[in-house]
């Protein structure tokens, strides 16, 4: 902390709160997971209060060793590392298949780790946005992450449609910050047979609202349209059951809650009813081809897609980028999303309680109060001096992030944040506001 840091031990009530935070940490069965991550230091050399896992997750301590082993195999084996390394590169992506499927509630053949989120979205829009003259509209929420909007508008233009007419954007009601599920269902029903695709987030990146993906999918299927979800803020944050919910496709990044490093390789889900249909149009590449003929190359000039999500692969997997994903997925596989969710609900609820106790009118929480409608992120709408407040938090060793024009996002991640972290954050914030 800086020399000007608020002193949270000045008030007797603060001391009582600290006792409660420490008690909660002592009772937490997951508290030791924190030691398996590198916590950045603040300017005074002490570990910072890191609440930006919704933007970039922290590095697992095992990531470097796994990456070093691949570098060593490259040095000692060269091209033979594809088949003779400790983890042969040819099948490396298959090591992530089961754990990736568990993260999003899929069966193994429905998931592949490849590319980046937006690249995967572009590839899947080729396959799952197939407009007709009467059914051509795409429904999205507002605010939606801009990369998704750019991708959708690009596809609409490529198909000869005007985004102003063909993109249906559903917004919160006047005076509200989040969407009502009944309004989503009403919009889907209203568009009916003009709708070709419903594409939404699992968790909204600004407000932190968790959408009922099963309910949305059912509503879309009822009018004969497909559903896709951007799980950037949902994967690794909340339990997901894509297969059981009959979601058609989904994409996600692995660098936020999934702690796989900046620009990490993304993930892709295709429901088995589509994955096993090799007639679905797609942009093809050799790694999506049938492995039985993949290396016959010019002798087999016709693309024969491998069944399942693997059939949407374009290029061979980037091993040095996949090693940190493997490090992270191993932790999630060991702990399980149900246990993480249980702690997350308590941790975020504790943060919410302390923020309400502050009683400041300088900010308001715009994330839903119902734990079933949010993940671990709480979004603070700051009514005055939002950027100045963010800078002051940073000077006091707090790392969170910001969305224009005035939203500070705070994400207590159950893998590495503690109840005492939350308590310290609340004490600092209370004195700054």
Structurally, what CATH architecture does the domain formed by 67-334 represent?
Answer: 3-Layer(aba) Sandwich (3.40)
pLDDT of residue 299: 86
Mean pLDDT to the nearest integer, 112-138: 97
Whether the per-residue pLDDT at 3 is higher than 70: the answer is no
Whether the per-residue pLDDT at 7 is higher than 60: the answer is no
Give pLDDT tens digits for 333-353. 999 999 999 999 999 999 999
pLDDT of residue 396: 96
Distance between CA 49 and CA 46 in Å, rounded?
A: 9
Give pLDDT tens digits for 218-234. 999 999 999 999 999 99
Is the domain spanning 12-36+337-432 CATH 3.40.50.720? The answer is no
CA–chain centroid gap for 152, Å, is: 19
Residues 73/327/211/386 CA torsion (nearest 10 deg): -100
What values do phi and psi take at 171, rounded to 5?
A: -120, 155
Contact 113, 96 (CB under 8 A): yes
Identify the sign of the CA torsion 92, 96, 98, 99.
positive
pLDDT of residue 2: 39
pTM of the full predicted structure?
Answer: 0.94
Contact 89, 317 (CB under 8 A): yes
Mean pLDDT to the nearest integer, 9-35: 80
Give pLDDT tens digits for 382-396. 999 999 999 999 999
Structural domain spans, the chain? 12-36+337-432, 67-334
Whether the per-residue pLDDT at 5 is higher than 80: the answer is no
Residue that is written with structure tokens 């508008």 in the block = 153
Whether the per-residue pLDDT at 12 is higher than 50: the answer is no
Distance between CA 111 and CA 102 in Å, rounded?
A: 9
Give pLDDT tens digits for 67-83. 999 999 999 999 999 99
pLDDT of residue 17: 74
Give pLDDT tens digits for 94-107. 999 999 999 999 99
**What is the chain's alpha carbon radius of gyration, rounded to the nearest angstrom?**
23
Inter-axis angle of helices 181-191 and 213-222, nearest 10: 20
pLDDT of residue 259: 98
More confident residue, 5 or 430: 430
Residues 9/429/58/376 CA torsion (nearest 10 deg): 110
pLDDT of residue 1: 39
């Amino acid at each position: 902390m800086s020399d000007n840091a608020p002193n949270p031990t000045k008030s007797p009530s603060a001391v009582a709160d600290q006792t409660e935070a420490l008690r909660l940490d002592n009772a937490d069965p997951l508290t030791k997971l924190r030691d398996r991550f590198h916590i950045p230091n603040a300017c005074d050399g002490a570990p910072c209060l890191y609440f930006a896992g919704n933007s970039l997750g922290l590095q697992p301590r095992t990531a470097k060793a796994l990456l070093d082993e691949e570098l060593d195999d490259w040095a000692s084996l060269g091209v033979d590392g594809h088949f003779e390394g400790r983890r042969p590169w040819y099948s490396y992506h298959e090591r992530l298949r089961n754990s990736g499927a568990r993260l999003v509630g899929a069966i193994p053949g429905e998931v592949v780790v490849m590319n980046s989120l937006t690249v995967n979205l572009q590839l899947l829009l080729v396959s799952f946005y197939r407009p007709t003259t009467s059914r051509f509209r795409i429904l999205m929420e507002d605010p939606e992450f801009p990369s998704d909007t750019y991708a959708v508008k690009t596809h609409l233009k490529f198909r000869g449609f005007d985004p102003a007419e063909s993109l249906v954007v559903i917004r919160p009601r006047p005076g509200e910050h989040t969407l009502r599920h009944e309004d989503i269902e009403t919009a889907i029903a209203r568009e009916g047979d003009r709708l070709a695709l419903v594409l939404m987030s699992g968790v909204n990146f600004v407000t932190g609202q968790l959408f009922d993906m099963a309910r949305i999918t059912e509503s879309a299927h009822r009018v004969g349209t497909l559903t896709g979800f951007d799980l950037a803020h949902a994967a690794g944050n909340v339990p997901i059951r894509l297969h059981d919910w009959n979601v058609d496709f989904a994409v996600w990044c692995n660098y936020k809650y999934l702690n796989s490093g900046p620009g990490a390789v993304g993930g892709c889900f295709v429901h088995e009813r589509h994955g096993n249909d090799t007639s679905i149009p797609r942009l093809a590449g050799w790694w999506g081809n049938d492995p039985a003929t993949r290396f016959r190359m010019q002798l087999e000039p016709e693309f024969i897609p491998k069944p399942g999500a693997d059939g949407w692969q374009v290029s061979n997997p980037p091993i040095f980028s996949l090693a940190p994903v493997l490090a992270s997925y191993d932790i999630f596989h060991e702990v399980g999303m149900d246990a993480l969710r249980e702690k997350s609900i308590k941790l975020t609820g504790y943060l919410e309680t302390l923020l309400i106790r502050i009683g400041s009118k300088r900010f308001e929480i715009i994330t839903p109060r119902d734990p079933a409608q949010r993940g671990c992120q709480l979004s603070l709408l700051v009514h005055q001096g939002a950027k100045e407040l963010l800078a002051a938090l940073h000077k006091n060793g707090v790392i969170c992030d910001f969305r224009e024009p005035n939203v500070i996002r705070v994400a207590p991640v159950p893998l590495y944040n503690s109840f005492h972290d939350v308590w310290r954050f609340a004490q600092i914030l209370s004195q700054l506001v």
